[in-house]
Structure 1
Amino acid sequence: MNEEQKTAQGIKDKGQGNTAKEGVHINLKGFAIGNGLTDPEIQYKAYTDYALDMGIISKTDYDRINKVLLACELAIKLCGIDRLVSCIAPCLVCNTIFSRIMLVVGDSNYYDIRKKCEGNLCYDFSNMEQFLNKKSVREALGVGELEFVSCNPTVYQAMLMDWMRNLEEGIPTLLKDGVKLLVYAGEYDLICNWVGNSRWVHAMDWAAKQSFVGSAKVPFLVNGAETGVLETYGPLSFLKVHDAGHMVPMDQLKAALEILQRWTMGKTL
């Protein structure tokens, strides 16, 4: 079996551990992906479309930046075949698309295009850091004296090899087994924008794909007010959250809490 066949076999086996009774059974009922990078080949193509639609780049910028797309697609395919050797290259090639957009938009916050970027992470996480580093919270979480940080460079470096992998491939099996998935995205996030997230969700090949694609878009209401647009069929839901960037819970507190409560309690969104 060559490396490509091994990779294909590994993809086929993803998500089938419970069904095959391998190891300890995991009582998984559902999971959620919030403003995530799941299928890079689809999502990197969406950068310029989103930026043009939101008016932060011109059509001239759009055409110029899109010349990188072919090289990006080829690099991503190499990563899928041999991730140990070729997964850094697509990071360098494909992120040229994002960096060229940022050259146009300047100091805008790539997590929320309505704002300017302030600080290393473009968000103020000080309240969260103070809370999570309280002794009582650390004890409740069972983490001992470990200090919480908003972004750990060691973890970041360790995950670079996974950046450009297609992580959608294991999801259809989970949906088939009745595990629920909620994908949500704030509408003003550029770096993991809702357009790219919507596209990979709609492109995913699973048993009820056509029914999901044909499902109606309905308002997501919190206390009677529309805070997003929801598409759902069977175990799969996609939610575009209004007036929010990358960090939906920081921008839409009530909506995020409502999403969390309904989802974890198994209620209909």
Structure 2
Amino acid sequence: MWFWFFESRNNPRTAPLVSWFGGGPGNSAQYGMFTQHGPCEILKDGAEPTLRENSLNNHANVLYIDLPIGSGFSYGNGAQVNSTKDCSPYVWTFLQLWFEAFAEYENRDLSVYTESYGGHTGPEIVNYILDKNSEIKAGKGSGDVINVKALSASNAWFDTRIQEKANLDFALSNSYRSLINESLYQELLAEYTTEVVPGLEKCDETGTSKDCFAAYRSYLDGIEQPIWTTAMNKYDDWIMADIQPGGVRPPTYHQEYLERADVQKAIGARVNYTESGGQFGILESGDDAKSFLGELSRIVRDGVQVLIWAGDSDYVCNWVGTKRVADAVDWPRKKEFADKSLQPYRVQSVQKATFKSVNNLHYARVFDAGHNVWWYRKYKI
């Protein structure tokens, strides 16, 4: 598995350790590293990297990991990974070897940061680490305990049943512009109720690739495609990752840079760069339709600090759906959290977001930001 590691620019001996996993599914960690929060960025095609002032590693030691095998520069001879749960053992093994090689970080608290499809991979990775830690402490497993303390997931896809309904609601009414009218909303709501929900229930019941892929196709074809088509016909400048007029996404100038033979030779890459690898196998297995709300709930109950946050102009994994997921987390303080209203979050006296927190569960809605919320930030981390 390919990784980049960057020490904190400030107090690396005491700074926390953060691991970053891309979304996708199968999106290289280097997408987030170059476009959003790594120490360097590429500002135009053909340019060399330049220093990013507001890097995540200003105050944290950051480990970027290409997951799954086939993504970024990661490669291997084993069987193709076709599900989120199949990825976790690879991450556990990688971290064991990494801490062995970088022993000075072995006892450091670890945070898992991710986005988008990371609503699947993030909770599952943390959940798997907690399981392995329990086995080791009980004398039933080998390896070293990993001190996983936090999960941050931005604009993330956790639970289709909750978030697909939220997509409908958001498409009809949001702070920027309506994507569909009331008539289409009612038509798609009926499709959701009669076709999508039963399909998701069957996926939950059997867990088979056949049933889960059928559920995935039911909402992709029955709900998403009509919304996308309607929005594209309605607005010339519509993109699903940023629905505000003139919406934009991070430019991917880094791809050309990472595909250069001289760069690959200099960094020791053994395969060509792949921005998204293994995604079709994961999607064809029906993995997208599977819920990871249970894993998310477990890690909250276990005391892991969890931040769910979203740029509010994203349609894909919109703030309405991610908030509903946060409110649905099953833990002793569920009702208290769900009943709590969002409060203003200000930076230099200017409101930039709203948020709420109860103990170790936190939620934030970030204004005027799209799917890759880190890139849209207009203030320092």
TM-score, length of structure 1 as denominator length = 0.78
Q: Secondary structure at the match of 2:215?
A: helix
Q: Secondary structure at the match of 1:17?
A: helix
Which of 101, 104, 112 is equivalent to 2:230? 104
Match in the other structure for 2:173: 53
CA distance in 2, matches of 1:139, 1:29: 36
What do residues 138-184 of structure 1 show as CA deviations (whole Å, max 9, x unaligned)?
A: 799x762444444x2x4211221211100111122212221111111
The share of aligned pairs that are identical, in percent, is 23
Give the partner amino acid of 1:184. W
Please identify, of 128-137 and 239-248, the stretch whose mean Cα deviation from structure 2 is larger: 128-137
Show structure 1 runs of 5+ residues with no match.
1-10, 259-269
CA distance in 1, matches of 2:179, 2:227: 8
| Cα shift at 1:91 | 1.1
CA distance in 2, matches of 1:134, 1:228: 39
Give the partner amino acid of 2:212. C
> Is 1:72 the counterpart of 2:202 in the alignment?
no
**Contact preservation (8 Å) 2:250, 2:372:** no
CA distance in 2, matches of 1:211, 1:34: 22
| Cα shift at 1:98 | 1.2
| Residue pairs, 1:1-269, within 5 angstroms | 15-21=130-136, 22-24=141-143, 25-54=145-174, 55-70=178-193, 71-84=195-208, 85-95=210-220, 96-106=222-232, 108-115=238-245, 123-129=249-255, 144-150=269-275, 152=276, 154-160=277-283, 161=285, 162-254=287-379, 258=381
Check 1:105–1:182 CA distance in 2 against 1; reply closer, same or farther (3 A cut): same
**Contact preservation (8 Å) 1:110, 1:191:** yes
Match in the other structure for 2:19: none
Give the partner amino acid of 2:154. G
Q: Secondary structure at the match of 1:125?
A: coil
Select the structure with the greater relative contact order (CA < 8 A; seq sep ≥ 6): 1
Q: Secondary structure at the match of 1:57?
A: coil
CA distance in 2, matches of 1:101, 1:215: 31
What do residues 179-228 of structure 1 show as CA deviations (whole Å, max 9, x unaligned)?
A: 11111111111111111111111012112212212334222223332211
Check 1:31–1:83 CA distance in 2 against 1; reply closer, same or farther (3 A cut): same
Match in the other structure for 1:265: none
What do residues 244-264 of structure 1 show as CA deviations (whole Å, max 9, x unaligned)?
A: 01011222253xx52xxxxxx
Check 1:116–1:226 CA distance in 2 against 1; reply closer, same or farther (3 A cut): closer
Match in the other structure for 2:104: none
**Structure with more of its chain in helix, by fraction:** 1
| Cα shift at 1:231 | 1.0
CA distance in 2, matches of 1:207, 1:40: 23
Q: Secondary structure at the match of 2:146?
A: coil
**Contact preservation (8 Å) 2:163, 2:325:** yes
| Cα shift at 1:81 | 2.2
| Cα shift at 1:127 | 3.0
CA distance in 2, matches of 1:136, 1:229: 45
Q: CA RMSD in A?
A: 2.7
| Cα shift at 1:20 | 4.0
Match in the other structure for 1:4: none
| Cα shift at 1:131 | 6.0
Q: Secondary structure at the match of 1:181?
A: strand
Check 1:116–1:243 CA distance in 2 against 1; reply closer, same or farther (3 A cut): closer
Match in the other structure for 1:262: none
